[in-house]
């Protein structure tokens, strides 16, 4: 099951605000919470008290709190890798190691008696994971997540992201990555130019970022990295996670020229990508069978662009009523009605729709 998550930074907020945010996230079905113990500067007792209060509240809502921590903080708090009772008492679901140890320590940590998850950094493309696995960890307690990047242009390239993620998926390790809320204003550090794992996501909507991560089949959990995301963003992500039922979902704009029958075909019919692949079109052909006796008059027939939603009109004979998605720009002979278009920022997601994949459209209003 895929999970959604949020991030909180108690050192930069208040207990009341964080609780309200957690409550809102829970309302929309979010399960994970990321928080940071990279710094314990200031009144350590007060910081720990506030952390525990927030974590206890999250636990009361059955949410999973992962605490990010660096090895230097272990020393500062007097914690040893072979005694994680501090985090168990804090109420954490697990700990994320911002920087790792040598491999054996991580392996030992996975056998902690509290069942704490040990989350390791996925973004470095080293032999770190293989090294840990060589020390025979309790793999059911080992998970991974990518870093996030507040500096514009410093985020991961997609190619590097794929290389790193595939290593974890190959070994059946649960994976997570971070996305950037366009409404949020801060993260753990003073620099905040958005906060995401993939650089290409920085200016995209949360739902498009999440779709990309989920549809890559490399990421299990998607977490909003910066605080505070808006309720509308929560709603969009909840709709994706629930209404989609794992169907590949594309946001589209429909044109005024679309007929009621064409609209029904686009929004209500079951679509799958035919297995005999074309370089030019994704074809969903069942509608031409179901509605073969209906009229499909020519309506709006401009030249075709990649990302256009098409329905063949009656000038195309037996193809009339067939739904297609354009993969390339093409000349329109007048036999093809252009009924809508995939949202511009989502057109790149067509590269992740594969033959025999089932898909659906969700209309958005311009």
- Architecture label for domain 250-363: Beta Barrel (2.40)
The low-confidence residues of the chain, meaning pLDDT below 50, are: 244
**CA atoms of 91 and 97, how far apart (whole Å):** 17
pLDDT of the residue at 283: 98
- Contact residues for 108 (Cβ-Cβ < 8 A; gap 6+): 81, 82, 135
Q: What is the largest CA-CA distance in the chain?
A: 77
pLDDT of the residue at 243: 54
* pLDDT tens, position by position, 6-62: 999 988 899 999 999 999 999 999 999 999 886 666 667 777 888 899 999 999 999
Q: Do domains 3-246 and 250-363 have the same CATH topology?
A: no
pLDDT of the residue at 78: 80
pLDDT of the residue at 38: 64
DSSP state of 336: E
- Contact residues for 25 (Cβ-Cβ < 8 A; gap 6+): 4, 5, 6, 33, 63, 234
pLDDT of the residue at 245: 57
**CA atoms of 34 and 294, how far apart (whole Å):** 53
pLDDT of the residue at 138: 98
- Which CATH code of 3.40.50.450, 1.10.760.10, 3.20.20.70, 3.10.530.10 fits the domain covering 3-246? 3.20.20.70
**Kind and range of the H or E run holding 158:** helix 158-170
Cβ pair 305, 329 in contact under 8 A:
yes
pTM above 0.85, yes or no: yes
**CA atoms of 218 and 213, how far apart (whole Å):** 7
* Domain spans, the chain: 3-246, 250-363
């Amino acid at each position: 099951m895929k999970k959604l998550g949020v991030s909180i930074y108690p050192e930069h907020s208040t207990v009341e605000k964080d609780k309200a945010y957690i409550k809102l996230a829970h309302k929309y079905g979010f399960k994970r919470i990321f928080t940071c113990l990279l710094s314990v500067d200031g009144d350590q007792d007060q910081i720990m008290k506030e952390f525990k209060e927030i974590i206890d509240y999250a636990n009361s809502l059955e949410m999973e709190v992962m605490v990010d921590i660096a090895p230097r903080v272990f020393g500062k708090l007097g914690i040893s890798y072979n005694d994680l009772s501090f985090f168990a008492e804090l109420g954490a679901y697990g700990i994320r190691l911002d920087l790792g140890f040598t491999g054996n320590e991580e392996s030992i940590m996975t056998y902690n008696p509290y069942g704490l998850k040990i989350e390791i950094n996925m973004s470095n493309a080293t032999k770190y994971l293989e090294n840990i696995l060589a020390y025979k960890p309790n793999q059911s307690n080992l998970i991974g997540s990518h870093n996030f990047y507040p500096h514009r242009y410093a985020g991961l390239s997609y190619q590097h992201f794929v290389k790193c993620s595939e290593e974890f998926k190959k070994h059946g390790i649960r994976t997570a990555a971070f996305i950037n809320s366009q409404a949020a204003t801060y993260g753990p550090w003073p620099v905040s130019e958005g906060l995401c794992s993939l650089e290409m996501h920085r200016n995209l909507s949360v739902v498009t970022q999440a779709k990309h991560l989920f549809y890559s089949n490399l990421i299990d959990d998607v977490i909003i990295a910066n605080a505070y995301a808006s309720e509308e963003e929560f709603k969009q992500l909840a709709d994706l996670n629930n209404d989609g039922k794992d169907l590949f979902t594309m946001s589209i704009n429909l044109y005024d020229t679309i007929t009621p029958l064409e609209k029904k075909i686009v929004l209500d019919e079951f679509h799958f990508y035919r297995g005999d692949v074309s370089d030019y079109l994704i074809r969903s052909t069942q509608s031409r069978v179901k509605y073969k006796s209906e009229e499909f008059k020519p309506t709006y027939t401009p030249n075709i662009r990649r990302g256009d939603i098409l329905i063949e009109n009656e000038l195309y004979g037996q193809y009339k009523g067939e739904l297609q998605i354009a993969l390339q720009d093409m000349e329109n002979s007048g036999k093809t009605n252009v009924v809508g278009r995939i949202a511009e920022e989502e057109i790149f997601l067509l590269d992740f729709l594969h033959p025999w994949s089932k898909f659906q459209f969700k209309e958005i209003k311009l």
